[in-house]
Chain A
Amino acid sequence: MAETYIARSPAIAARMLGGEMMIMSAVDSTFFTLNEVATLIWQSADGYTPLSEIVERKVCHEFEVEPEAARVDAEHFVQELSQHGILLVSDKPIPAATPGSAEQR
């Protein structure tokens, strides 16, 4: 099965506030608040680490969730954010995306 690679779009603004990740699309002004799991996936979206590895090594490790349930949730999350141009998704690594492409604190 092909791997999925995800990267944060440069066309967004994002910051941590009160323990939650706030993201605003600079394309359509859509505003998102991410929960802890989604924030971890978001922070791990470096364009190089496959989504399956993010789920297995980070999400399952930190949140004690079943791998299959975590994978399904992660795929839904990635699909939704990619529809708003907030995450870039590819079946190959995304070299142009760097961890610093999205503003974060």
Chain B
Amino acid sequence: MTLADQFVSAAEVSVEIGGMPIVLRSTDRTFRALVETRYSAYLRPPETASFVFEVEVLPDHLLPREDGENDLRVWKQDGKWWLERGDFQAYLDPAARGGRILQSASPYAIDSVLRIVHTLIQAAQGGFLLHGASAIRNGRAFLFSGVSGAGKTTISRLAPPDAILLTDEISYVRRDDSYTACGTPFAGELARPGENAMAPIEHLFFLAKGPQNRIDPIAPADALRMLLRNILFFADDAELIKMVFRSAMEFLGRVPASRLTFYPDVRVWDLIQ
């Protein structure tokens, strides 16, 4: 290894989520330390990279949108995806397998960029990120999807010791020969990252709270409607919307989906084996 290589390696951090290593290259030591701490369970040697991003951390007043505008915008232009919010501006060039990120020092900026980038990458491969908790039990993964307040964190807190909690907030669904759920560092109210593990998906549950624990079938149209409502996608892009629709249809064609009504005590996990 040359001195130059050592320098480059020292300036890179590779974060692998969903089996997709993304290298973040930055000369800002504080930023790299933040990434190494925040995603400690998801770090990989920098030489493994599916995508490489140059990251520049800027003071707030130097960010592209210092007008206080905070709405997220994601759009495609000239083959690149552009991501913009008050605390970051970034692009992803899928053909070049990389891009550039200008962002504030806030950890939420890189967290959001990574979620969006993974969403865009997975959309092209038939996978998606889903508002939902997920866990592995007996070698099989279970997804618990729902909007805010549906019980994602509650069911995560109730998980028995043998369950491997992948996330209480954002589930990662990858399409391989089958569908695989992967752990994510994106935490909800539980405020702790998921385990860095993966397993084939056995069942998708749509969560509802109720007086007793029960599993009910869902009509295919309702399952699709709920799944589409809970899949993360950020861009008003016709092709992306079509891809997400296709992915949701194909997922429901292969993974059973039901409604899980649960009373918040540990016995609900007796139904999830």
Contacts and interface: CB of A to CB of B under 8 A. Distances in A.
A27 to B, nearest CB: 7
B147 interface: no
A16 B7 CA distance: 55
Interface in A1-46: 11-13, 15, 17-18, 20, 22, 24-27, 29, 31, 33
Interface in B216-264: 219-221, 224-225, 228, 238-239, 241-242, 245-246, 249, 252-253
A22 B221 CA distance: 7
A73 interface: no
A31 B249 contact: no
A33 B228 CA distance: 13
A12 B238 CA distance: 8
Contacts of A103: 242, 246
Given A20-B221, A31-B228, A15 B249 contact: yes
Which label, helix, strand, loop or mixed, suits the secondary structure of the B interface? helix
A42 to B, nearest CB: 15
A103 B249 CA distance: 12
Which label, helix, strand, loop or mixed, suits the secondary structure of the A interface? strand
B245 A13 contact: yes
Contacts of A13: 241-242, 245-246
Contact of A26 (B219, B221, B225, B242): B242
Contact of B224 (A11, A17, A27): A17
Contacts of A25: 241
Contacts of B239: 26
Nearest to A23: B245
B238 A20 contact: no
A18 B238 CA distance: 25
A26 B228 CA distance: 13
Given A22-B249, A31-B228, A17 B242 contact: no
Interface of A: 11-13, 15, 17-18, 20, 22, 24-27, 29, 31, 33, 103
Interface of B: 219-221, 224-225, 228, 238-239, 241-242, 245-246, 249, 252-253
Given A11-B238, A17-B220, 4 more contacts: A18-B220, A24-B245, A26-B241, A103-B246
